[in-house]
Chains A and B, each alone.
Chain A
Amino acid sequence: MIRAKNIYKSFGDTEVLKDISIDFEAGKTNLIIGRSGAGKTVLLKIIAGLLDPTKGEVWYDNVNFLELTKRQIREVRMDVGMLFQGSALFDFMTVEENVRFPLDMFTNLTKKEKLNRVNNCLERVNLAGNNEKYPSELSGGMQKRVGIARSIVLNPKYLFCDEPNSGLDPKTSILIDNLIRSITVENNITTVINTHDMNSVMEVGDSINLLYMGELAWKGNKDEVLTSDNPILQEFIFASPFLQRLRDSALQA
């Protein structure tokens, strides 16, 4: 479990996050949603330890992440996987080398053991047999799946996904969402997903946290989205007349 407590973040005079407190539970896909500029990425980067908050605490289970030494932070980070918006695959490495990178850095496994682990992860994301390809030879969806394989190769306890569906078609988006969710449930991972994709919200939103102008405006789950009367949530989720009609017909049914 990850707990963000009273997080504030400012850049100069601009206050981006104001008193955010959220519990991200293990074995669930925890979503952070909100409009562009709401502070989603900043919050995710603070939780992942890539940015320091101006004020507040981040707890990984019983460990206060912000009070750790650099060495301790590195140890905690070995339990962390992260999928980036642009996949962040190392373009000078093959798929296999990308996925093997954390194993090369942090384990003393033999070459054969590493290869087995890499192949298992690639199979898990339906990319078996693509070991020798370079990221530039893969589609956006395949790159995301390689990113997922790399992020789970060390069996992390915490998984962060920054806009995992950005730039993907709806079908591939659902595939990626379901893959992240099944990995989360199978391994009891604490997964935090930053998204503004409505398919993701309705597909895998075990726990949803809506940010609005740097504040936590609503929290709930995918079933409560339809019935909530929170105006900010309604305005965000059902932004188009088409979606509003869909919601109305769903509620009537």
Chain B
Amino acid sequence: MYWKETVRQMHDIGVGSLIIVILISVFIGAVAAVQFAYQLDGTLVPTYYIGYVVRDMTIIELAPTITCLVLAGKVGSNMAAEIGGMRQKEHIDAMEVMGVNTAAYLILPKVIAALVVIPMLVAIAAFLSIMGGYVASVPAGWITSAEYIQGLRSFFVPYNVFMMFVKAFAFAYILTTVSCYQGYYVKGGAIELGKASTNAVVISDILILLADYLIAILLTG
């Protein structure tokens, strides 16, 4: 039962969020490339730096942080509403009377699914952001294809990828636990459920940004 529920959650989080992650990451990569190209205009900095900067910006910061902030809004609010709705419709009471460990059955599969799937989504987001940067800067004539690829290959530090996954795991844990907590302990009716859902997003976002800062200090200090 737990395995089945975990797989269902992986599908909901992963497949359900793929479109929004694709859209956002492509545009973020594109915007990052265009704006950096604009800043380089008229300077002595080599243009292949566009590829280098887009790569590191997305891997270190944009892919994990923006993706998880968006997922907090989509997946987190959904989790809070789903569990809160189950609380209000007495589904959780029904399970508890049966002897089901409701926290384990309802929350654990979501946390495990998020820890598996969200880092994958972040990796996809990083790749697509870099592709988005390419699509935005090469055809527009800011940079040649060879220069962009040269930039991608320059100064590569594998440790940055490790940092990206550390952030992805930490943010995934934060957004699922905060959201599930808000839903699990909801009291009252529809208004309280709405508030719980909003709190899930707001608190997750704040904690993600705080964690982002702490991880940056810890891993780069």
Question: A residues touching B (Cβ–Cβ < 8 Å)?
Answer: 45, 48-50, 73-78, 80-82, 84-86, 88, 90-91, 101-102, 104-106, 154, 160
Cα separation A82 to B93 with both chains bound (whole Å): 9
Q: List residues of chain B with CB within 8 A of the CB of A77.
A: 96-99
Chain A residue nearest to B4 (CB atoms) is A104
Would you mind naming 15 contact pairs between A and B with Cβ atoms under 8 Å apart? A50-B96, A74-B99, A74-B101, A77-B96, A77-B98, A80-B99, A82-B93, A82-B97, A82-B98, A86-B89, A88-B90, A88-B94, A105-B99, A105-B105, A160-B97
| CB neighbors of A among B97-140 (8 A) | 97-101, 105
Cα separation A82 to B100 with both chains bound (whole Å): 13
| CB neighbors of A among B133-172 (8 A) | none
Q: List residues of chain B with CB within 8 A of the CB of A81.
A: 97
Q: List residues of chain B with CB within 8 A of the CB of A101.
A: 98
- Shortest beta-carbon contacts, A-B, top 4: A77-B99, A88-B94, A88-B90, A74-B99
Q: Are A105 and B94 in contact (CB under 8 A)?
A: no
Chain B residue nearest to A51 (CB atoms) is B93
Residue B1, interface by CB 8 Å:
yes
Question: B residues touching A (Cβ–Cβ < 8 Å)?
Answer: 1, 89-91, 93-94, 96-101, 105
Cα separation A85 to B91 with both chains bound (whole Å): 11
Q: Are B90 and A85 in contact (CB under 8 A)?
A: yes
Q: List residues of chain A with CB within 8 A of the CB of B105.
A: 105
Interface residue from A45, A88, A105 paired with B91 (Cβ < 8 Å)? A88
Q: Are B89 and A105 in contact (CB under 8 A)?
A: no
Cα separation A160 to B89 with both chains bound (whole Å): 17
Known: A104-B1, A105-B1. A90 touches B91 (CB 8 A): yes
Q: Are A84 and B98 in contact (CB under 8 A)?
A: no
Cα separation A45 to B93 with both chains bound (whole Å): 9
Q: Which of B1, B91, B98, B105 has the most CB of A within 10 A?
A: B98
Q: Are A50 and B97 in contact (CB under 8 A)?
A: yes
Known: A104-B1, A105-B1. A84 touches B99 (CB 8 A): no
Q: Are B99 and A106 in contact (CB under 8 A)?
A: yes
Chain B residue nearest to A76 (CB atoms) is B99
Cα separation A125 to B98 with both chains bound (whole Å): 20
Cα separation A102 to B97 with both chains bound (whole Å): 11
Q: List residues of chain B with CB within 8 A of the CB of A91.
A: 89
